[in-house]
Amino acid sequence: MNNSKALPVPDLKTERLLIRCLRIEDAAALLEILSDHETVRYWGRPAMSRLEEAEAYTQENLDWMAQGHCLYWGLEEASSGKMIGTCALLRMDLSNRRAEVGYLLHRSYWRKGIMTEALKRVIQYAFEELRLHRLEADTDPENLSSIQLLERFGFQHEGLFRDRWYVHGKWSDSLMLGLISRLDSATQRSE
């Protein structure tokens, strides 16, 4: 059961990023990211080619936020103000204190620790501020970079769903990973 109303989407800061609420004005930056075939290689949609597609995708996520189903942030490079990616808590289920993490990053920023920095702050917010107990990630088992990123944060492999998604003209498996809050574990041990 998802919460029924939108949660505030706070600005989160890191050394190099302003992690701020997604805005409709981000559609052009998202088009630049989502039109790159390598970036969307493991994403469940084809590469975008028109601004209208990116605007519709952005509005779809804004609508989901308004309904309380997710928190969606734009990753803005602090030094330039450029929107370079996204990070989200999706499929939020506050009654069971869980959500799914999702993220995208402009390819020119890969392998620079940017997503590590962003995800660390979003995970911290999810566990410390929202008091979530569990985070999940649904990842293509061939997306080794994403799997390694999640494993660095302690996400554990929990299951493989065969032929779960039809992506880019072929069936794709889904590797499910999970992370349990250490805050809850520490509280349970002390009781």
175-128-99-73 Cα dihedral, nearest 10 degrees: -100
14-72 pLDDT, tens digit each = 999 999 999 999 999 999 999 999 999 988 888 999 999 999 999 999 999 999 999 99
65-116 pLDDT, tens digit each = 999 999 999 999 999 999 999 999 999 999 999 999 999 999 999 999 999 9
Q: Give the pLDDT confidence score for residue 33 in this predicted structure.
A: 97
Residue 68: left (phi > 0), alpha (psi -120 to 50), or beta? Answer: left
**pLDDT band at residue 186 using 50, 70 and 90 as cut-offs:** low
Q: Give the pLDDT confidence score for residue 184 in this predicted structure.
A: 63
- The mean pLDDT value for 184-191 works out to 50
- Per-residue pLDDT at 2 exceeds 60: no
Report the distance separating Cα 142 and Cα 145, nearest Å: 9
Q: Give the pLDDT confidence score for residue 27 in this predicted structure.
A: 97
User: Do 94 and 105 meet the contact criterion of CB atoms below 8 Å apart?
Assistant: no
Place of tokens 């032929």: 163
Determine if the pTM surpasses 0.75. yes
Read off the DSSP letter of residue 45: S
Q: Give the pLDDT confidence score for residue 166 in this predicted structure.
A: 86
* Domain 12-190: CATH class, spelled out: alpha beta
Other CB atoms within a 10 A radius of the CB of residue 79 amount to 8
Cβ burial, residue 163 (10 Å; 0-12/13-18/19+)? exposed
Q: Give the pLDDT confidence score for residue 91 in this predicted structure.
A: 95
Per the model's pLDDT, the better-predicted residue between 153 and 187 turns out to be: 153
